[in-house]
Structure formats: C-alpha cells, structure tokens
C-alpha cells in the first residue's frame, strides 16, 4: 500500500511505525523509495537505523509531567 501511495506523488506522507513486522529486504526497499521521495514526511518510529537513513530532522517528544510533553528539536 505504501508503494501504491508513493506512485500517486502525494505532497505529504505520514507513517506510523512503518517497519514493524517487515523483513530486512522490505525495509531496505522502503528506505530506497522514501530516499527518492521529494515531498514532506512525518514518520513515527523507534527504528533508529531506518530513521537515520531517511530523515533530516528529528523531533523528540519527552514527557515532562502528567499529560504534558515538550518537543525537542
């Protein structure tokens, strides 16, 4: 489904844990496709290796208090 979506040239892609339950070959293919994508992306992931290959900026949400977070750029 991600590949079909990329073929439509969207201006924004939002992915939530896209590498969960993917094998290594699939992750590498996804990395390659996203590296060639020219639009904006928001990716939520704990996969640091994947993120390092794709993103230019990282925003980290850190819990300060109950129901209160701050964004670290």
pLDDT digits (tens, 9 = 90+) for 8-56: 889 999 999 999 999 999 999 999 999 989 899 999 998 999 999 999 8
Predicted pLDDT at 25: 96
Predicted pLDDT at 21: 92
52 in helix, strand or coil?
helix
Would you give the DSSP letter of residue 32? Answer: H
Least Cα distance to 14 among 37, 40, 53, 52 occurs for: 40
Whether the CB-CB separation of 69 and 61 falls below 8 Å is answered with yes
Domains and CATH numbers, the chain: 2-72 (3.40.50.300)
Whether the CB-CB separation of 39 and 66 falls below 8 Å is answered with no
φ, ψ of residue 17 to 5 degrees: the values are 50, 55
């Amino acid at each position: 489904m991600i590949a079909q979506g990329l073929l439509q040239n969207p201006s924004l892609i939002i992915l939530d844990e896209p590498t969960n339950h993917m094998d290594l070959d699939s992750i590498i293919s996804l990395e390659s496709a996203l590296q060639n994508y020219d639009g904006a992306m928001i990716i939520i992931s704990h996969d640091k290796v994947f993120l390092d290959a794709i993103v230019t900026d990282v925003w980290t949400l850190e819990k300060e208090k109950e129901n209160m977070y701050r964004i670290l750029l």
